[in-house]
Amino acid sequence: MESSFFDLFGPSPPSGSSSSGSDSDLRNGNSNDDDGGGGGSGSNERFDYIGQLLQRGHHHHRDSSSYELLQQKGFDFNRGFLPPEPQVGNIEYKLKLINPSKQRFEHLVTQMKWRLREGNGEAIYEIGVSDSGFLQGLNDADMTVSLQTLNQMARKLDASTSILRRKSLADQRSVVEVLVRKIPDDQHNIEVRVAVLGGADAGKSTLLGVLTQGEFDNGRGLARLNMFRHMHEIQTGRTSCISHEMLGFDAEGSVINYKYNEMMTAEEISDRSTKLVTFMDLAGHRRYLKTTVQALSGYCPQHALIVIAAGNISNMTREHLAIIHALDISFSIIVTKIDLAPPDPILFELKNLLTSIGYRKVPYLISNQDDVLNANAHQSVEQIVPIFCVSNVTGAGLDLLIQYLYVLSPGISNAEKERLEQQPFEFQIDEIFRVAEVGTVAGGLLCKGVLTENSQVKVGPLQDGSFFSVTVQTIHRNKAPCRVVRAGQSASLSFNAIEPMPVLRSGMVILPDYESAEVACGCFFFQAQVSVLFHATRIFKGFQTTVHIGSIRQTAIIEGIMGAGDTGIGTNQSASVLFRFVRHPEYVRPGMRILLREGTSKGIGKVTQVFPLAQTQHNHTTATTTTTTG
């Protein structure tokens, strides 16, 4: 088994040294407990030291919600209790499951079905735990029967079970945590979209190369070569565009990547996997920041990995963190290159940054499998930020990161997913390709609805705000052909047009062909409720900024700020703002999230009203006719 990565630094303490509590208790702010397990030795002493460093800053935030959350929830499995059973979500506590009646069994199956719906096909069962969260435990015989009952419940739903961890208690009793997974009937696997970002030279592409190719790096960038798409990226070692990669897992949690066998393809990885993690490798250099922000806004990742090289936190990384926080995307932090530099200084910086007023997060250093499962089970709380320390050369810490990706939840319930699928489809175009013998191919994200092959659709808006009709010819997902794409999935589409197709661009959308001209229409003017996150001075009418709305990225001018008068708006102020696109109309609808970016200035908000060109032109025509008649 891989030794702890802290074994790389400094000598181990003398044998026989011990601590009264587990390393996890000290590191994550939990008090010692009689049933918390045995003492730690060796590299655990260094874990305890760094954990104390991370926790030292929390005493300044005893009144903050994040600190109280950590203390009250007590989500460390080693404390002897868990938080009370949540009424919503995909976590279920069961004290025991021994010989239930037929009626009770059907009720338990219905309950499991609901938990699976809440977790988008994944549920976590804590066996031997009361509803209040107390770890009572079961003896071996009762635990065996309870697990058999749980397996029977899962089989009733065509689901699979796998034991994540087992904790031994006093009197030969134990508690077991089980992952129940059911692939939706209309899907091959459960998919999670993860964005990977960070500053230049942090090791993002190298990390993805190691994960997806199954081979460690040689220390000179060998692993990242398969991630690059252009010659200048290979020459400079810097990613300039969005690169998509995947990592699969089977029902037992074993990794399925390109090293699975010699002839493995992306299509086979998707087919063999019950859980599929699709990565977006984003650019880290400031020159390509607009591409990174557009990908985060357009592809709506369910989770983000912030990669930081051991040493210091770059300004670009701070910028990425601010954008992720503004877009309300859950994230984890990966500290790389620990074979070259100790992680202690960067952990100090991260503790100060994440616990600051702007973030109010709880840094959670991951050192063992229990930490992985604890952090994932409470990721929805959103104050917890797991921190991994890894080396792409030695492989230290990568096993914990892989385990975390295996249990990472998609973050959207089946009920919400079904609600989106019942709406008319809307596909946001983010990338355009020209493929020989195929023609134009559009890549992007289906925000809502269900899109199938041979569907009659409208694509636009054009320069006059109108849409043109085409037929979707083929659909590809994860580098493999498919017949249908559903809400929340990314795909590539080819078209069959009777007339020559106009030139497509990023930011266009695809709507059902039956939508009326009033709905399928672009606009120049729209109104949004905006909060300014940071601006050096004040923002007034006439201010120009880059606007990100989904896959839309365009310069817009502020035509009016409601209620601001001559004073404008500044940092931490909100107002209703009227915008006008500069170059061409875009398809915008109320409720869409908007991100403003101009230099170091940032703002975020939601669209409240749009003024379609068709409506504007109709009003203008009516006014002209009235004037002429008068």
**pLDDT of the residue at 43:** 38
Buried b / exposed e along 507-545 (16+ C-beta atoms within 10 A): bbbbbbeeeeeebbbbbbbbbbbbbbbebeeebeeebeb
Yes or no: say if 334 and 306 are a contact pair by the CB < 8 Å rule: yes
Please tell me the distance from the alpha carbon of residue 405 to that of residue 414, in angstroms, as a whole number: 20
**pLDDT of the residue at 44:** 41
Nearest to 415 by CA among 186, 116, 153: 116
**pLDDT of the residue at 423:** 92
Helix (H) or strand (E) holding 312: none
**pLDDT tier, 437 (very low <50, low <70, confident <90, very high otherwise):** confident
**pLDDT of the residue at 241:** 61
Which of 10-14, 376-380, 537-541 has the highest mean predicted lDDT (pLDDT)? 537-541
User: In the structure encoding, which two tokens stand for residue 385, read together?
Assistant: 């930020």
Q: Is the dihedral of CA 123, 124, 130, 131 positive or negative?
A: negative
**pLDDT of the residue at 401:** 94
- Examine domains 78-182 and 190-411 and report if their fold is the same: no
Residue 94, pLDDT > 90, answer: yes
Residue 292, pLDDT > 60, answer: yes
Indicate left, alpha or beta for 198 from its phi (over 0: left) and psi (-120 to 50: alpha): left
**pLDDT of the residue at 281:** 82
**pLDDT tens-digit map of 324-335:** 888 888 899 999
Radius of gyration of the chain (CA): 26
**pLDDT of the residue at 106:** 94
User: In the structure encoding, which two tokens stand for residue 409, read together?
Assistant: 């939840």
Nearest to 477 by CA among 226, 250, 244: 244
Residue 546, pLDDT > 90, answer: yes
**pLDDT of the residue at 4:** 33
Domain ranges, ordered by start, for the chain: 78-182, 190-411, 417-512, 525-611
From the candidate CATH numbers 3.30.70.100, 3.60.21.10, 3.90.1300.10, 3.40.50.300, the one assigned to the domain spanning 190-411: 3.40.50.300
Residue 37, pLDDT > 50, answer: no
Say if domain 78-182 classifies as CATH 3.90.1200: no
**pLDDT of the residue at 297:** 85
Of the listed ranges 189-198, 282-291, 386-395, the one predicted with least confidence: 282-291
**pLDDT tens-digit map of 215-250:** 887 777 676 666 655 565 554 555 556 777 889 998
Residue 28, pLDDT > 60, answer: no
Peptide bond between residue 11 and the one before it cis (omega within 30 degrees of 0) = no
**pLDDT of the residue at 597:** 87
More reliable by pLDDT, 533 or 78: 533
Residue 53, pLDDT > 50, answer: no
Which of 3-17, 116-130, 242-256, 285-299 has the highest mean predicted lDDT (pLDDT)? 116-130
Residue 433, pLDDT > 60, answer: yes
**pLDDT tens-digit map of 443-490:** 999 999 999 999 999 999 999 999 999 999 999 988 788 888 988 888
**pLDDT tier, 609 (very low <50, low <70, confident <90, very high otherwise):** very high
**pLDDT of the residue at 189:** 82
Residue 18, pLDDT > 60, answer: no
More reliable by pLDDT, 238 or 317: 317
Nearest to 344 by CA among 305, 393, 389: 389
User: In the structure encoding, which two tokens stand for residue 222, read together?
Assistant: 């060998």
**pLDDT tens-digit map of 66-88:** 333 333 333 455 666 788 888 88
The pLDDT of 342-357, averaged and rounded, is 86
Residue 545, pLDDT > 90, answer: yes
Residue 205, pLDDT > 90, answer: no
Q: Which residues contact 277 (CB under 8 A, 6 or more apart)?
A: 191, 192, 194, 246, 247, 248, 249, 405, 408
The pLDDT of 287-292, averaged and rounded, is 80
Share of the chain above pLDDT 70, in %: 79
Query: From the CB of residue 264, how many other CB atoms can be counted at a distance below 10 Å?
Result: 16
The pLDDT of 208-216, averaged and rounded, is 86
**What CA–CA distances, in Å, run from 513 to 428, 449, 498?**
15, 14, 14
CATH superfamily of 417-512: Translation factors (2.40.30.10)
Residue 63, pLDDT > 50, answer: no
The pLDDT of 120-141, averaged and rounded, is 91
Q: Which residues contact 619 (CB under 8 A, 6 or more apart)?
A: none
Residue 35, pLDDT > 60, answer: no
Of the listed ranges 32-36, 123-127, 130-134, 265-269, the one predicted with least confidence: 32-36
From the candidate CATH numbers 3.40.50.1100, 3.90.1570.10, 2.40.30.10, 1.10.490.10, the one assigned to the domain spanning 525-611: 2.40.30.10
Residue 19, pLDDT > 50, answer: no
Please tell me the distance from the alpha carbon of residue 150 to that of residue 532, in angstroms, as a whole number: 50
**What CA–CA distances, in Å, run from 65 to 349, 364, 375, 453, 457?**
21, 15, 17, 49, 48
The pLDDT of 88-93, averaged and rounded, is 87
Q: Chain-wide mean pLDDT for the chain? A: 80
- Would you give the DSSP letter of residue 79? G
